[in-house]
């Protein structure tokens, strides 16, 4: 590696360090991570006799969720989920009446509400986007007007009932469009995205004309691990000027690829479209067994593909790792997640009744293929994995750019101050690929002896105890390499970085902060050729 020496390097180095110091001393405040649950099945579960228990005590299901850290619920909305004889299609019977009733229960407990417009009478996803029965014979223009009017009508009714949603989702898993065939995104003879964008704009206009506040609007696709799908779809929508606020992703690890693939998608689309992202559907099995005779979507093959044990502990670990990935999205654009149907723990409520299957035009077994991905066991007892919601709340990382993703390749990672001591040049520190989470890591290296540190000063801290973690690798002739925290109101605390070619977690627990501030850093004093890599540094307040 050739060094740039002399006065130019000194001037540039001083400038870079000054910029880093200014950025590094900004006050850092964490926004609340969305820790959501789709509870759309609840009313039908309760009608079927299901009970929900916490430590053996029967309680309201939503209270149990809140007790364990859930702060948001998602409610799907179907227009007319009944046949002409009044028979329910099942799976929650999520008409407007049911949706308002569930929203009232959630709001009473202080939970926020995401409303998921399906614009259909029953399930929609990339494989089906059926028209509501009442709209089946409409022209494109009539459909567009009906969608707009229906959206306004629903939100007016929710507003009048005191349960206006805190976030609105226009359509569900829209990879292949909506309101087929008029709003299909492919295979309809051209102009597909023009028609789809028209529908989306009309739904969004319906929201904006009713909203009492500036309500965030989400557009949602499946296949969270497929970056190309997201860029194809959102490029087309962006060209047509659709106005929305955030991007929702479905991500089931046994279907949608590795967490690295998900990370790539989230990082790419959040930057490309300057939008926050939310993993608005996800789940994992706590067992490979089934509560009923219907084969489950999650079994031994999915356990292998997903990479986590099919146990409550594995379910919990999966969610913890997912939160880590969401918080790694650059510029704090990962705003949270929603677990899909944690309350659907038995087969008493079918994915569809006979009437529902007739509407979809399919014949299949009744039952529940999702029971082993609930967060309650088959008897309704809350599983330990529910604690993952609380743990996600505690993972409010107070550091900016904690995984060095914000700048690409650089010698001055944003929000980090850089101190260069003896022997350190500009490129002794650099970000490079191969990170623990995301794409990049920060690496210290030089072909001569050097001293260097990077650090952030976090201000505005409330009194309490905190935990500092970092993932590190190291090798070569290192005199000193450590993660540290100081200026917190007590003596400096530090722990050594272990030499290893594998990522190793370094932790400093129970840091007493009394001064309202803390300096978090990584310090390296090395002989020639010594190196340290660091990634995903977190500083969180203990609860």
| Among 137, 170, 177, 120, residue whose Cα is nearest residue 360 | 120
* Strand spans (E) along 14-152: 34-38, 53-54, 57-58, 72-77, 112-117
Give residue for tokens 């939503």.
62
Provide the residue count of the chain.
543
Q: Which residues, at least 6 apart from 361, have a Cβ–Cβ distance to it below 8 Å?
A: none
Q: Which class for 510: exposed (0-12), middle (13-18), buried (19 or more C-beta within 10 A)?
A: exposed
pLDDT digits (tens, 9 = 90+) for 456-475: 999 999 999 999 999 999 99
Active site residue 281: yes
CA 507 to CA 496: how far, in whole Å? 10
Name the phi and psi angles at 286, rounded to 5.
Answer: -100, -5
Active site residue 136: no
Q: What share of the chain is helix, strand, coil (3-state, %, to 5)?
A: 30, 25, 40
**Cβ count within 10 A of residue 63:** 14
Cα-based torsion angle of the residue sequence 126, 337, 323, 55 in order, rounded to the nearest 10 degrees = -120
CA 6 to CA 436: how far, in whole Å? 35
Give residue for tokens 């992202």.
277
| Among 253, 165, 257, 178, residue whose Cα is nearest residue 213 | 165
pLDDT digits (tens, 9 = 90+) for 305-336: 999 999 999 999 999 999 989 988 988 899 99
CA 305 to CA 307: how far, in whole Å? 6
Q: Which residues, at least 6 apart from 377, have a Cβ–Cβ distance to it below 8 Å?
A: 286, 345, 383
**330 neighbors 405 (Cβ within 8 angstroms):** yes
Side-by-side strand order, sheet with 450-459: 417-420, 450-459, 517-526, 478-486, 493-496
Set out the domains of the chain in order of their start, with CATH numbers. Answer: 7-29+400-541 (2.60.120.260), 34-132+168-206+217-394 (3.20.20.80)
CA 441 to CA 504: how far, in whole Å? 13
CA 427 to CA 429: how far, in whole Å? 5
Q: How far is CA 247 from the centre of its chain?
A: 10
CA 459 to CA 299: how far, in whole Å? 47
Selecting among 173, 276, 341, 405, the annotated active-site residue is 173
CA 425 to CA 9: how far, in whole Å? 7
- Whole-model pTM: value is 0.82
| Among 261, 258, 263, 307, residue whose Cα is nearest residue 285 | 307
| Among 209, 274, 203, residue whose Cα is nearest residue 238 | 274
Give residue for tokens 């082993």.
372
> What tens-digit pLDDT sequence spans the chain (543 residues)?
333 333 333 333 333 334 333 333 333 345 789 999 999 999 999 999 999 999 999 999 999 999 999 999 999 999 999 999 999 999 999 999 999 999 999 999 999 999 999 999 999 999 999 999 999 999 999 999 999 999 999 999 999 999 999 999 999 999 999 999 999 999 999 999 999 999 999 999 999 999 888 899 999 999 999 999 999 999 999 999 999 999 999 999 999 999 989 999 999 999 999 999 999 999 999 999 999 999 999 999 999 999 999 999 999 999 999 998 998 898 889 999 999 999 999 999 999 999 999 999 999 999 999 999 999 999 999 999 999 999 886 667 899 999 999 899 999 999 999 999 999 999 999 999 999 877 899 999 999 999 999 999 999 999 999 999 999 999 999 999 999 999 999 999 999 999 999 999 999 999 999 999 999 999 999 999 999 999 999 999 987
Selecting among 276, 281, 303, 369, the annotated active-site residue is 281
């Amino acid at each position: 590696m050739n060094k740039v020496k002399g006065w130019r390097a000194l001037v540039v180095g001083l400038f870079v360090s000054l910029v880093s110091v200014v950025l590094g001393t900004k006050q850092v405040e964490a926004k609340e991570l969305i820790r959501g649950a789709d509870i759309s099945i609840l009313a039908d579960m309760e009608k079927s006799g299901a009970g929900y228990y916490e430590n053996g005590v029967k309680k309201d299901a939503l209270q149990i969720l809140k007790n364990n850290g859930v702060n948001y619920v998602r409610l799907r909305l179907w227009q007319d989920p009944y046949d002409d004889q009044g028979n329910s299609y099942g799976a929650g019977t999520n008409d407007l009446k049911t949706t308002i009733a569930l929203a009232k229960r959630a709001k009473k407990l202080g939970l926020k509400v995401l409303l998921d417009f399906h614009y259909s009478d029953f399930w929609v996803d990339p494989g089906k986007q059926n028209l509501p029965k009442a709209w089946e014979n409409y022209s494109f223009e009539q459909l567009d007007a009906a969608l707009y009017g229906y959206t306004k009508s629903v939100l007016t009714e929710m507003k009048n009932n005191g349960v206006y949603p805190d976030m609105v989702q226009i359509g569900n898993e829209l990879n292949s469009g909506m309101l087929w065939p008029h709003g299909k995104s492919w295979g309809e003879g051209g102009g597909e995205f023009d028609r789809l964008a028209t529908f989306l704009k009309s739904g969004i206009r319906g929201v904006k004309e009713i909203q009492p506040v500036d309500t965030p609007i989400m557009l949602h696709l499946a296949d969270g691990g497929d970056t190309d799908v997201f860029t194809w779809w959102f490029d087309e929508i962006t060209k047509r000027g659709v106005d929305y606020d955030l991007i929702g992703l479905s991500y089931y690890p046994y279907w949608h690829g590795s967490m690295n693939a998900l990370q790539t998608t989230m990082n790419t689309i959040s930057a490309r479209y300057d939008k926050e992202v939310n993993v608005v559907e996800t789940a994992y099995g706590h067992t490979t067994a089934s509560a009923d005779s219907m084969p489950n979507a999650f079994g031994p093959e999915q356990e292998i593909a997903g990479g986590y044990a099919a146990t409550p502990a594995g379910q919990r670990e999966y969610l913890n790792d997912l939160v880590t990935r969401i918080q790694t999205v650059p510029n704090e654009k990962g705003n949270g997640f929603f677990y899909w149907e944690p309350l659907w723990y038995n087969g008493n409520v079918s994915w569809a009744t006979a009437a529902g299957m007739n509407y979809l035009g399919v014949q299949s077994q009744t039952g529940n293929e999702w029971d082993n991905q609930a967060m309650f066991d088959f008897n309704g007892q809350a599983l330990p994995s529910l604690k993952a919601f609380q743990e996600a709340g505690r993972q409010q990382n107070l550091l900016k750019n904690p995984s060095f993703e914000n700048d690409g390749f650089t010698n001055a990672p944003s929000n980090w101050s850089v101190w260069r001591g003896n022997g350190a040049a500009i490129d002794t520190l650099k970000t490079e690929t191969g990170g623990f989470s995301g794409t990049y890591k920060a690496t210290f290296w030089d072909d001569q002896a050097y001293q260097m540190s990077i650090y952030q000063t976090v201000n505005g801290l409330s009194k309490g105890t905190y935990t500092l973690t970092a993932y590190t690798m190291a090798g070569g002739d290192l005199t000193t390499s450590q993660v540290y925290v100081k200026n917190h109101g007590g003596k400096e605390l530090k722990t050594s970085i272990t030499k290893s070619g594998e990522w190793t977690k370094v932790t400093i627990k129970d840091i007493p902060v009394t001064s309202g501030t803390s300096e978090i850093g990584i310090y390296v004093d090395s002989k020639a050729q010594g190196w340290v890599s660091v990634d995903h540094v977190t500083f969180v307040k203990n609860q």
